[in-house]
Chains A and B, each alone.
Chain A
Amino acid sequence: MEHIELFFKSIFIDNMVFATFLGMCSYLAVSKKVTTAVGLGAAVIFVLAITVPLNWLLDQFILQPGALSWLGAEYADYDLSFLSFIMFIATIATMVQLVEIIVEKFSPSLYNSLGIFLPLIAVNCAILGGSLFMQSREIATLGLATTYGIGSGIGWFLAILAIAAIREKIRYSNVPAPLRGLGITFIITGLMAIGFMSFGGMLTGGDEEGEALEDKSAQIETVQDKSTTNEIANNTKVID
């Protein structure tokens, strides 16, 4: 249950792109065609699914205050958490190199179409962000960390797939010239992010603050329900 909750939470509510703006650079740069977007999205899922659990292990057994106690009692006081940035980014850079080798061997066409962007996954904020959020949200077990990694990856994948599809269609629309390209993409992303915020009411339970918020939103929802039923009633009258 915990796993399912975290999984959906990381896909929709804490969506990497729409809630935290991570990985925006490659999100904007590689979303001109659906096929390349799918390739990059898949690579991000893969890298996140590996690096988040790996960095979780690093965090638990090396970096946290007192994490070195498995080496012996005299190491129990060490706090290496200031090294997390370097450790995380080194793990990520290595894993990305590995993915690059694998993709080059098994799918040369994907390798060619991803081009320069594959090495740039190393500097994709979504990857490092996944590990840093995993650390700051204090995810409890290795299994949950894996779920979190995969979920965040799928969330990013969905986001880039959606924007790539929209950008392919919008080429045929008459956008004001100064907004063409980057500008309209920003505004669409903003609107999509507003849409994704509506997933916020999907989860129940959690901390007290969350419950208080939910009470309010529940009230708002009931009010909205009433107004929508009224509207529907009015509409049907009009149709009649």
Chain B
Amino acid sequence: MGKDTKLILDPLADNNPITIQVLGICSALAITAELEASIVMSISVLFVLGVGNVVISLMRNIIPSKIRIIVQLIVVATLVIIVDLVLKAFAYELSKTLSVFVGLIITNCIIMGRFEAFALGNGPWRSFLDGIGNSLGYAVILIIVGFFRELLGSGTLLGIKILGDPVAKTGLYAFGYENNGFMLLSPMALIVVGIIIWVQRSRNKALIED
């Protein structure tokens, strides 16, 4: 496997930003009650991290190390303002659902973590690949969590009624199936991520702590 492919593929599983590096948990949990919100959030992070990593990597030799956090924050904040304005213009309803969590991409630890750990020490192209890889790893977890929470919680995917109509009692509901409203509440996101970590570490024993 080439070095560049490794940069993209590693964060998808064995070095996943959420389950292994413990970065960017906040937004991963708060907005995953619907699959659509998870996908939009992933795309926003993909944009911010991809572009941000390149910008920081280009500036890495001229940023004084003492004020680098403020410089990084300004770069991210600018990119996030762009994302926020675009969302407000083209997907207003969705931007209401995401509310402050678009703004919180600024303090998403994935972004700062990758800037610090990678972009400050590597060239633009490799940093770009690293950004894409890590945001894809983030997206994988978000989409898995969003998928299960929306499917089990409201019986829909992307708003389409997969399991039938709960009011008219069609599809699965005709057999007495009920939506588990509990899945829509925020604590279940934590438990779903906990289970993902469990499955992942059972399959790959090298990741077990202690």
A-B pairs with lowest CB-CB distance, top 6? A181-B209, A190-B190, A178-B201, A186-B194, A193-B187, A24-B25
Chain B positions within 8 Å of A123 at CB level: 69, 73, 106-107, 109, 112
B99 within 8 A of A: yes
Evaluate contact between B194 and A187: CB separation under 8 angstroms.
yes
A75 within 8 A of B: no
B100, B191, B201 pick with most chain A CB within 10 angstroms:
B100
Chain A positions within 8 Å of B103 at CB level: 84-85, 128, 132
The 9 sampled A-B contact pairs (Cβ below 8 Å) are A85-B77, A93-B69, A123-B69, A128-B106, A177-B205, A178-B208, A179-B194, A182-B197, A187-B191
Partner of B107, one of A19, A83, A128, A191: A128
Instruction: Count contacts on B: residues with CB < 8 A to the other chain.
Output: 49
Evaluate contact between A29 and B22: CB separation under 8 angstroms.
yes
Q: What residue in chain B is nearest A88 (Cβ atoms)?
A: B103
Partner of B84, one of A85, A127, A182: A85
Evaluate contact between A179 and B107: CB separation under 8 angstroms.
no
Evaluate contact between B73 and A82: CB separation under 8 angstroms.
no
Chain A positions within 8 Å of B80 at CB level: 85
- The 8 A CB mask of B21-53 against A (1 = contact, 0 = none) is 011111101100000000000000000000000
Evaluate contact between B69 and A186: CB separation under 8 angstroms.
no
Chain A positions within 8 Å of B81 at CB level: 82-83, 85-86
**CB of B52 to closest CB in A, whole Å:** 13
- Measuring CB to CB, which residues of chain B are less than 8 angstroms from any residue of chain A? 19, 22-27, 29-30, 69-70, 73-74, 77-78, 80-81, 84-85, 99-100, 103-104, 106-109, 112, 185-191, 193-195, 197-202, 205, 207-210
A129 vs B166: C-alpha distance when bound (angstroms): 36
A132 vs B69: C-alpha distance when bound (angstroms): 20
**CB of A101 to closest CB in B, whole Å:** 13
A136 within 8 A of B: yes
Evaluate contact between A86 and B77: CB separation under 8 angstroms.
yes
A84 vs B199: C-alpha distance when bound (angstroms): 41
The residues in A between 10 and 42 inclusive whose CB is less than 8 angstroms from any CB of B are: 18-25, 28-29
Evaluate contact between B210 and A181: CB separation under 8 angstroms.
yes
Evaluate contact between A22 and B73: CB separation under 8 angstroms.
no
Evaluate contact between B74 and A180: CB separation under 8 angstroms.
no
Chain B positions within 8 Å of A90 at CB level: 70, 73-74
Partner of B25, one of A28, A119, A187, A191: A28
Q: What residue in chain B is nearest A195 (Cβ atoms)?
A: B187
**CB of A20 to closest CB in B, whole Å:** 6
Partner of A183, one of B74, B84, B197: B197
A125 within 8 A of B: yes
Evaluate contact between B187 and A89: CB separation under 8 angstroms.
no
Chain B positions within 8 Å of A179 at CB level: 194, 197-198, 201
**CB of A238 to closest CB in B, whole Å:** 31
Chain B positions within 8 Å of A189 at CB level: 190
